[in-house]
Structure 1
Amino acid sequence: MDLTYLLDHLSEPTLLVLGGLLVGMMFGIFAQQSRFCLRAAALEFSRMQSADRLPIWLLAFSSALLATQVLGAGGHIDIHETRQLASPQSLSGALLGGVMFGTGMVMARGCASRLLVLSATGNLRALLSGLVFAVVAQASLYGALKPARDWLSGLWTTVEVGGNDLTRHLGLGPAGVYLFGGMWLVAGLVLTWRNRSSLWRTIAAVGAGLAVPAALLFTTTMSRQAFDPVSVEGVTFTGPSADTLMLFLSTPADGFDFASGLVPGVFLGSFVAAFLTRQLALQGFESGPSMARYLSGAALMGFGGMLAGGCAVGAGITGASLFAATAWVTLIGIWLSATASDRLIAKLQNGVEPTAHSSI
């Protein structure tokens, strides 16, 4: 990818924001159309239900992983220059944060990306929950919750285990990586066929996953061609959501970057997709107790996502595609805690299980 022409006519921050906006729109459109949701996928799996949320997630996950690794092997993506692999990461934060995020995800009935996508369609529950998520994430990054996050993060780091590259720990070569990704892609396709999912939703699931390598490819190219340093990053929502919130309060001290356009892009893409398919609808909270549950879950996700260094997409898709050990710890923690939390909530509700397919 050659961005010389664009760099000659646009400033580097402007081009970074535009890149984030376009990648965000790509993710927002396809995530809205495919109804991509880790929470619904995890609950379908734990309840052994035969539906389409699990295959949708598998297709997005495997598409992101395979495309990222292929582009990395071809030298188009600097995988080892990403934050997840270029610097020490917290294993304790990944484990504890993943558990907190998974629990919060079930309570809020949607992960950070799902809340953002739904808020653009008129879901006021998702919008308010997303704002709480962003506020708590910001407090965890720079505010009152930062000391607690720093202490928990320092309990166990990747320095103590010899790095964060899972392929090196497992001795996986390119063939093993492609086989692993291909296995999940085939599983997703088989489940999609068995559940008779529509072709468009299948394509949209793959499209949502491909937004991750698209982000990595763009930021890698910018890091090579721009004059100022540019971080190589994929699609994630914890940090960018907190940063986007602060954009409404003050001009960023570090200037605008790729993440500055990502969250607005997802919102815009989801809105456009919902508008064109007539899925816009205002929705609110049903009761006071349900509101308390949603907002408590959003707060757990905000702290947990920042502690883990990524959300269901940032760690579960982007980080896992890079084979970052902490990302896999986070992803496993999210799945296990989501399953346990769902069963606990069902018992507290006198055995009435909430449906895995509720939008939020």
Structure 2
Amino acid sequence: MVFDSFGQAQSVFLWAGFAIALVMGAVVNKTNFCTMGAVSDWVNMGDTGRLRAWVFALAVAMLGVAVLEYLGLAKPDLAFPPYRSNQLVWLENLLGGLMFGVGMTLASGCGNKTLIRIGGGNLKSVLVFAVIAVIAYFMVNPFPGSDKTLFTVLFYDWIRPAAVMLPTKQDLGALVGGDKPALARLVLGVVIALVLMGFALKSEDFRKNFDNVLGGLVVGLAVLAAWYVTSNVMVRAEGETYSLQNFVAEQWDLLAAPTDVKPAQSAALSPQSYTFINPIGQTLGYAMGGFNKALLTFGVMSVFGVILGSFLWALISRSFKIEWFASVRDFVNHLVGGILMGFGGVLAMGCTIGQAVTGVSTLAVGSIITFIAIVLGSAITMKIQYYKMVYEAEATFLKAFVTALVDLKLLPAALRKLEAV
């Protein structure tokens, strides 16, 4: 997809992201595809249907990325954010993932689900969105009149020294492929994706559940489609072809048309796919900037697309319903959940879609760590909530926490503090 002007290329880049997100938003609402719900069904009821849908989405995206990258049609090596960076920020992935997992459980859904619920009329999710937006924005942007961000103030000095510099990029293909990382990425991507797909499809209940299959398939294809579009929209100028990022960073002053609006960040024009925490922060920045086109990014368009898609399906299905907090405790849970998702999603460099599907589709080790941490944080939180509900005053936080770890087989059974229920 090569265009003769930057303006044309940028429009396709942005509107394609919006259109794909709109379809994804509608289908996710229709099928109730929910990563927090997937963990809840598995932990509380032993039902793996939605968990398999999540895994199926990952498998579809991973298989597609492996093939497209080998053919030169997807460029995750150049991704924004840099999933495959040589710098493995494992502690940020781990802590951020745990925080995000706890937060999405308290807030009744992840970043993507928050957008879906807003489209369906849930005002509780508007609060969650606002909290995530403020925290995510100031995690990466300085406070007014300062050069400090929330990340530099709260995290940088103690968490960044734990980062590990690797001799290669951090994806599994580069780590095991030696001087043939491209072939290793293809082989590993295809093999792992087929194993994951086999896990999902092994269940007859999953195969017979149209919504679970459709939800996983569409989310996976949406992530893959975004990788393809953002990797292949190019600009032709003076007989040369440029990626959007390179055009803005290197050729803007020489080749940009007078009508073109220079994006505030050239990095936001890199190959990328869906993630929702940082883009929610970008959406706040776009609004604070007076809806300046220079601040309009693929991520912002994806936020609008998912909300609108969900809203349209809610109207079509007559499921649109205004919802408000049931109690003060419900309000506090959503508030705290939004805070944890804002911090955790930026620290971990993504969410249940941004890392656990988009990031893992690149085989990045940091993304895999984040995926595991999100599931663990969510599962432990659900177990704690369950034991405190059943045992009430008898179940202190510590007793519920230890018992949750025993249930998840992370501690020996001898340490159990509360009887299993």
Structure 1 residue corresponding to 2:205, chosen from 191, 194, 210: 194
What does 1:148-159 correspond to in 2, within 5 Å? Answer: 148-159=154-165
Q: Which runs of 5 or more residues in structure 1 are unaligned?
A: 354-360
Partner of 1:207: 218
Larger displacement relative to structure 2 (247-256 or 180-189)? 247-256
Secondary structure, in 3 states, of the residue corresponding to 1:245? Answer: helix
Partner of 1:164: 170
1:221 aligns with 2:260: no
Structure 2 residue corresponding to 1:233, chosen from 272, 279, 288: 272
1:56 aligns with 2:33: no
Secondary structure, in 3 states, of the residue corresponding to 1:154? Answer: helix
RMSD across aligned C-alpha pairs, in angstroms? 2.4
Larger displacement relative to structure 2 (37-46 or 61-70)? 37-46
CA distance in 2, matches of 1:161, 1:46: 39
Partner of 1:357: none
CA distance in 2, matches of 1:323, 1:351: 42
Larger displacement relative to structure 2 (170-179 or 277-286)? 170-179
Partner of 1:358: none
CA distance in 2, matches of 1:170, 1:113: 33
Q: With the length of structure 2 as denominator, give the TM-score of the two structures.
A: 0.77
Deviation readout 1:145-196 (Å, 9 max, x if unpaired): 22223335413224157542222334555333212111111222233x3256
Is the CA contact (8 Å cut-off) linking 2:90 and 2:369 kept in structure 1?
yes
CA distance in 2, matches of 1:270, 1:153: 37
Q: Which amino acid aligns with 2:200?
A: G
1:243 aligns with 2:242: no
Change (3 A) 1:275 1:214: same
Change (3 A) 1:41 1:200: closer
Q: Which runs of 5 or more residues in structure 2 are unaligned?
A: 144-148, 178-183, 235-241, 250-268, 393-399, 401-421
Larger displacement relative to structure 2 (139-148 or 96-105)? 139-148
Deviation readout 1:86-106 (Å, 9 max, x if unpaired): 563521111110111111111
What does 1:16-31 correspond to in 2, within 5 Å? Answer: 16-31=13-28
Change (3 A) 1:330 1:346: same
Deviation readout 1:57-115 (Å, 9 max, x if unpaired): 12212111111111111110012111212563521111110111111111112111111
| Matched-pair identity in % | 26
Q: With the length of structure 1 as denominator, give the TM-score of the two structures.
A: 0.89
Is the CA contact (8 Å cut-off) linking 1:95 and 1:329 kept in structure 2?
yes
1:315 aligns with 2:335: no
Change (3 A) 1:188 1:152: farther
Partner of 1:340: 380
Q: Which has the higher contact order (CA 8 A, sep 6+)?
A: 1
Structure 2 residue corresponding to 1:276, chosen from 296, 302, 316: 316
Q: Which amino acid aligns with 1:239?
A: N
Is the CA contact (8 Å cut-off) linking 1:3 and 1:225 kept in structure 2?
no
Is the CA contact (8 Å cut-off) linking 1:113 and 1:313 kept in structure 2?
yes
CA distance in 1, matches of 2:19, 2:205: 33
CA distance in 1, matches of 2:197, 2:294: 39
1:115 aligns with 2:104: no
Larger displacement relative to structure 2 (23-32 or 94-103)? 23-32
Change (3 A) 1:235 1:15: same
CA distance in 2, matches of 1:92, 1:204: 31
Q: Which amino acid aligns with 2:231?
A: T
